[in-house]
Amino acid sequence: MGNKSMIIIISIYVIWNIITFFLYGLDKLKGMKHTWRVKESTLLLSAFVFGAAGSISGSIIFRHKTKKLKFKILLPLALIINIIGVFLIYYYIDQGGK
């Protein structure tokens, strides 16, 4: 794998984090209108599946789920796992899949 693969992976990562960011905004909006909500498990899963940066950003910007202990602990943990995963993917691509 080469530069083209890395560009594709980075693009997917950025797009997914934008989606997770807006997922937090959507849930906050729905909560304010007292309508259907996004499940907490969905919000957390989106963070753990390489969406932690968008989830944390969305949580801070939209002031959403910032006081819940579960999110205070799990979002930073998701970010750490995401960083490790990104480094492993980068290493794998850099090594040519060896």
Structure tokens given for 37: 């909500």
Closest residue by Cα to residue 68 from 33, 97, 27, 34: 27
**Predicted model pTM:** 0.86
Buried b (16+ CB within 10 A) or exposed e, 59-72: beebebbeeeeebe
Q: In the prediction, which pLDDT does 7 show?
A: 87
Q: In the prediction, which pLDDT does 72 show?
A: 95
Q: In the prediction, which pLDDT does 1 show?
A: 55
pLDDT per residue rounded down to tens, the chain (98 residues):
567 877 888 899 999 999 999 999 999 999 999 999 999 999 999 999 999 999 999 999 999 998 999 999 999 999 999 999 988 888 887 776 55
Q: In the prediction, which pLDDT does 97 show?
A: 54
* Distinct helix (H) and strand (E) counts, the chain: 4, 0
Q: In the prediction, which pLDDT does 35 show?
A: 95
